[in-house]
Structure 1
């Protein structure tokens, strides 16, 4: 052991460096030719996670993207997918993924078209050899887009950080082979939605693009897209069409969302202030109206030599102010409204109460 606590090795005992390396020309070629996204600002050219609650439509949305890769149609009706001959491998963990994805994808491709798509049953990927075997098959058959549906079932114990790390080390074998990977993952059924996948927090750190999916009204979807190659995270609202078809109804950045929220808060406060002011104005108008009516009653009684009946006063008020004679009689007798401003002496005549 040396003074730092490390074992001493002879030069011949140290193995050669086994990691990859790149020269400047290779670095520049990669910078100029290798894409960050297969769908601009949405899906990474490496790993993209699509995360949401069960039965929210994640597999339908992936089917839409697969269909666009085959037909050349724009994703969500607006966004060009990277231009290449896409060969898609769907790695499914549910029963009969070939049936389910076949039913979905055919709703978004022309009748009679044979998409370049193949499904595979995916076991729990808990060993390096499984990943190497998968990589060998995918590369040998020239697949360049992989969909894993679902991560939650293929990772095994999704709470185990070491297992999650090994899983993403396996995915890295695919990425280094030039294969873009879509990962469908379930989040907890509790809470408001739009969170991360079940289990280890490492999941969100490991993927390059993270898309949180929440359901809106009438089957529409809201996406929150976070990735490390865009200047800013952003939101997309999708309208669901027939089958695996979607169109964008709204798109905005996280900053714009915060500005919207701030404006909405300010507008809400302004509405509250206006409502309070309107209430005060109504209360003031009512108070003034009641004061006028109470003063009329006092003056009416003062103008009469003989104390009039409340019915006679109510009729006089109707002629002066319109309104209901019955309502005026109730106010005079019960002390409601303008009646609350009157004090009655022993002779049955009113005076105005002293206002506090």
Structure 2
């Protein structure tokens, strides 16, 4: 930008030149919206919002910020990253330091910061999920929802546990809408129940589960779809009361879902996919095969149909099964590639082919694992600022 921060707007007016001068802060909202629409990365959005108060207000009032979630890739948060000691620190007094690191796939050399409390990944709190830029953790029947990048916290009432707090087994946690939305609910799944907290209310409702636990919940075409540990799927209803209704499905293909491949659900536009990943060996190298199946509800029962070509989509998944997978349309816009799976590892981002796409990472050691543990694994997130659209 010019310095000083004044620019001359050419008009046909005969007014004195001084009255035709406008500051960068005085640009009209229509022009600022056009600038926002041309943003090419999360870094561009941060720079825009940090320019001045009026530009930040323009970003806050921009009516379709959620569209950036399809335009840009999510950010990768890595935990327990080793901090290199300063050159002048003697080796005999060096103590190993670790921190969180945020990676933007559009520019991996740009440092970004998050605000995740230390006790989330070294203490007793249990991570249960990410949703709308929030990280959800539980301990002792209490849940905390906090913004990954601002650190702002929301504390619901205590879960209505009985006895031994169900042995502290939490299997999933998600929001149904951004925290600022008037219809936002927090859903938390345990070994035997699914709990629902209307954000801002005084109590939870509980749905007791009979023979399976809920491990993933996604929103697809205006409804919520839940998957249990047997890979059955259900429509989830919040009103008039919390409930699940099984969707009868039929598998079409040679690899039905099972615990061996640990499949997961992901939404790509109007498609709901179940993705199964497993390694295959050859004499010289190994590859990861990622096979997506699309849910076809036009038949009865509904069918899971194999997708050999994922067209213009890229997928993002981390190592923790409770972390939310993401999709991104036309990743070539930011330097990515369609039909690739971006796996967030401890040290880097690994890429694998999806469907019939050749795997680009052929190596003796494949970097891909999905697990559930007390130690936090890398997670993909979009900042909450992307979800604050004007209601």
TM-score of the two chains, using structure 2 as the length reference? 0.24
Q: Which has the larger radius of gyration?
A: 1
TM-score of the two chains, using structure 1 as the length reference? 0.26
More helix by share: 1
